[in-house]
Amino acid sequence: MKRLLPAATLVIIVVACATPLLPETRWDETSLQIAASAIFIENWALAWLATDYLGSQNPPSPVQHFWSLSVEEQFYFLWPITILAAIAIGRRLHWSPRFTIIAALGAIFVASFTCSLLLTEAEPASALFVMLTRL
């Protein structure tokens, strides 16, 4: 975060200042995506908007590329909590920490892969962005 946060903040500020240069019809969506990028949920905003990353129908957002940074930052918050929760559950079940972590990661892998298969078929644009398909 020490390396990426200053540059990301600068980009978000510049894009916010430049938004009035876009056609007025794009101001609301761009503002929404700027806010989502600032709090690292741009991937969920794009999934909600069902944006096709490679699509030519909608003009790309100036901060659309923040979706991958959002996924990365969500992992930074999610993984420690997940590992600690798994270890706590494993202790109650009298499992070793190593087995617990392997079991938890295996379960997450299977669930994520299944989610990816199902969501890619049903909602391919959303499946690209949501963290659940990228765990």
Query: Cβ atoms within 10 A of the Cβ of 104, count?
Result: 18
pLDDT for 17-34, tens place per residue? 999 999 998 999 999 999
**Residue span of the structural domain in which 11 resides:** 4-133
The separation between CA 102 and the C-alpha centre of its own chain, rounded to angstroms, equals: 24
pLDDT at 9 over 70: yes
**Range with lowest mean pLDDT among 79-88, 103-112, 125-134:** 125-134
**Range with lowest mean pLDDT among 18-27, 87-96, 97-106, 123-132:** 123-132
Cα Rg for the chain, rounded, in angstroms? 18
pLDDT for 37-58, tens place per residue? 999 999 999 888 875 555 556 6
Of 38, 64, 39, the C-alpha closest to 128 is: 64
pLDDT at 125 over 90: no
pLDDT, position 68 = 92
- pLDDT confidence tier of residue 99, bands split at 50, 70 and 90: very high
Number of domains in the chain: 1
Query: How far is residue 76 from each of residues 12, 59, 68, 100, measured CA to CA in Å?
Result: 21, 30, 13, 20
pLDDT, position 54 = 53
- Quick check: 123 and 50 in contact, CB under 8 A? yes
